[in-house]
């Protein structure tokens, strides 16, 4: 039984600094801690992109908090994480009629960006605050009945020093160890209900 399921997706972990540190720190911190978690390294599990949907859905069942941990690639998620959404968040399971499997769970996005904090502003070269890139994630969570927790972002990953990266990883581990006792959680609005209208698509053949 895991309280927290971390779905981690980095396409090139051998050349990563941020995620390698996060993976190591999170694996170490879990041992003996008050909150149990499991880290599923999607690129290690599915190097051929053949996702075991039943195994992924089973892993989600016992988690109250689901974490998506990945570098920002082209202002969104890496391709295997996207494929995971396409296949695991199935109609009738995660959303739509009868799709209640994830309802009431929390989703926390933990990401890093190459762009600095300043670059994510109307005057920076990324032209938008980082929050402008969250709606597809937030709405995915909402459609599945999940509460979208405020994302954790490490900006300027290329230029971050080892100490900064290590400190960031410790903060993330500490938050997981304290989940769900986070000060901001009680102030979050409840998840908006997003029922898919029954007639939106034909029901499967009996
Ligand atoms: C294919 C690709 C696309 C990327 N797209 C973005 C992007 O849209 N915005 C951004 O700020 N950084 C982008 N980056 C930089 C990554 O976010 C950065 O390398 C990563 O967060 C560093 O984490 P790591 O040390 O674990 O690899 C991109 C990197 C790659 C390889």
Task: Write out residues with Cβ below 6 Å of ligand 1.
Answer: 10, 16-19, 71-75, 112-115, 157
CATH says 4-200 is which class? alpha beta
β-pair partners for 76:
73
For 174, the enclosing helix (H) or strand (E) is helix 162-178
Classify residue 158 by burial, with Cβ atoms within 10 Å: 0-12, 13-18, 19+. Answer: exposed
- Residue 35: the pLDDT is 87
β-pair partners for 7:
40, 68
Q: Tabulate helix, strand, coil % of the chain (nearest 5).
A: 40, 15, 45
pLDDT greater than 80 at residue 203: no
**Residue closest by Cα to atom 8 of ligand 1:** 74
Separation CA 77–CA 167 (nearest Å) = 23
How far is the centre of ligand 1, averaged over its atoms, from the C-alpha of 55 (Å)?
28
Tell how strand 147-154 and strand 106-112 pair up.
parallel
How far is the centre of ligand 1, averaged over its atoms, from the C-alpha of 160 (Å)?
13
Residue 131 DSSP class: G
Atom of ligand 1 nearest to the CA of 75: 8
pLDDT greater than 70 at residue 83: yes
From residue 141, how far is each of 69, 126, 168, 179 by CA, in Å?
15, 25, 24, 18
- Residue 32: the pLDDT is 72
From residue 179, how far is each of 76, 155, 172 by CA, in Å?
25, 23, 11
Greater confidence, 205 or 111? 111
The overall average pLDDT reported for the chain is 94
Separation CA 78–CA 64 (nearest Å) = 24
How far is the centre of ligand 1, averaged over its atoms, from the C-alpha of 54 (Å)?
30
- Among 9, 20, 133, CA closest to 82: 9
- Residue 204: the pLDDT is 64
109, two tokens = 């996005």
How far is the centre of ligand 1, averaged over its atoms, from the C-alpha of 100 (Å)?
33
Ligand 1, pocket-test mutation among 71, 78, 166, most atoms within 8 A of CB? 71
Residue 152 DSSP class: E
Verdict on whether the full-model pTM lies above 0.85? yes
CA angle 30, 32, 35 (to 5 degrees): 60
- Residue 108: the pLDDT is 98
Separation CA 99–CA 197 (nearest Å) = 12
**Local structure of 95: helix, strand or coil:** strand
């Amino acid at each position: 039984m895991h309280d927290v399921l971390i779905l981690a997706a980095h396409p090139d972990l051998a050349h990563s600094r941020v995620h390698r540190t996060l993976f190591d720190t999170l694996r170490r911190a879990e041992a003996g801690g008050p909150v149990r978690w499991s880290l599923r390294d999607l690129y290690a599990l599915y190097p051929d992109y053949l996702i075991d949907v039943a195994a992924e859905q089973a892993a989600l069942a016992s988690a109250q908090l689901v974490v998506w941990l990945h570098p920002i690639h082209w202002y969104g998620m890496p391709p295997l994480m996207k494929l995971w959404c396409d296949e695991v968040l199935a109609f009738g399971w995660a959303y739509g009629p009868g799709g209640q499997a994830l309802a009431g769970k929390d989703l926390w996005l933990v990401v890093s960006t190459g762009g600095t904090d300043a670059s994510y502003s109307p005057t920076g070269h990324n032209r938008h605050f980082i929050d402008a890139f969250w709606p597809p994630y937030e709405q995915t969570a909402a459609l599945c009945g999940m509460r979208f927790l405020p994302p954790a972002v490490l900006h300027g990953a290329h230029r971050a020093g080892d100490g900064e990266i290590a400190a960031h990883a410790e903060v993330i581990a500490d938050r997981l160890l304290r989940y769900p006792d986070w000060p901001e959680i009680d102030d979050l609005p409840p998840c908006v209900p997003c029922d898919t209208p029954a007639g939106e698509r034909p029901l499967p053949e009996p």
